[in-house]
Structure 1
Amino acid sequence: MFGPFRLTPSLSGGLLWKIPWRLSKHQKARQRHRLRHVDKVVSIVNNALAKQGIKTAAVERWKEEMPTEEEMLPKDKYTIFDRKEKKYRKGIHKLPKWTRISQRLNPPGY
């Protein structure tokens, strides 16, 4: 085809989104670092509020519900639950904005 909508070599064949099917060891290390960093921030905020005698519902809820990085299984650190997948799990790197949101809780048993 000619004109403004002709195919370019990148559009005519091959994968458009080249996402590897598993995380590299460097991506896993960065993911663990991010999880530990969030744990550290929560503990710092909790300690600072405790010194002032203040309790915040959000911080208390986070501490009760969310496991720390050490408590998490590798399966939960690097994969997320997805009901459309064959084994109900997919790599966390296939989730949009996976570096910005917390995916610590998954349904039990999956």
Structure 2
Amino acid sequence: MLGPFRASSPSSVGLLWKMPWRMSKTRKMRQRLRLKAVDDVISAVQASGVQTHSLAAASELPTEAQMPPKDKYTTFSRKDVGYRKGVHKSPHFTKVTSRTNPEGF
């Protein structure tokens, strides 16, 4: 087919959104900034005197400075080889609960 609506090679192959297998420096920086922002919000709400069950659970989680790089940039995945995968490949990786992993992983 000729003209402006002809099929291009990327559109006919199928995989349009490519996911790199490792995180770039800027993605890692943004991940650290997101973790620090969550830490700041948790500490500010606790300082205001609000008491909730989720805040109590969040206070037990490690802060960004206490987390090893392995936990900052990877998350547990029982389907992957080595049981870890990059947080950029998992949906909702900015959630607070992704800071803890099963023992030994």
- Give the TM-score taking structure 2 as reference length: 0.83
**3-state DSSP of counterpart to 1:16:** coil
| Gap runs ≥5 in structure 1 | 1-6
After the TM superposition, which residues 61-80 of structure 1 pair with which residues of structure 2 at under 5 Å, given as runs?
61-64=57-60, 66-80=61-75
Measured in 2, the distance between the counterparts of 1:34 and 1:97 equals 12
CA apart distance, 1:78: 0.2
After the TM superposition, which residues 1-110 of structure 1 pair with which residues of structure 2 at under 5 Å, given as runs?
9-13=9-13, 15-49=15-49, 54-64=50-60, 66-99=61-94, 101-102=95-96, 103-110=98-105
Structure 1 counterpart of 2:53, one-letter code: A
Structure 2 counterpart of 1:56, one-letter code: T
CA apart distance, 1:27: 0.5
Structure 2 counterpart of 1:98, one-letter code: F
Identity of aligned residues (%): 50
Structure 1 counterpart of 2:9, one-letter code: P
**1:23-67, CA deviations, whole angstroms, 9 ceiling, x for partnerless residues?**
000000110010011001000000001xxxx53222122102x11
Measured in 1, the distance between the counterparts of 2:34 and 2:48 equals 21
**3-state DSSP of counterpart to 1:45:** helix
- Give the TM-score taking structure 1 as reference length: 0.79
| Gap runs ≥5 in structure 2 | 1-6
CA apart distance, 1:98: 2.6
CA apart distance, 1:12: 3.2
Q: C-alpha root-mean-square deviation of aligned residues, in Å?
A: 2.1
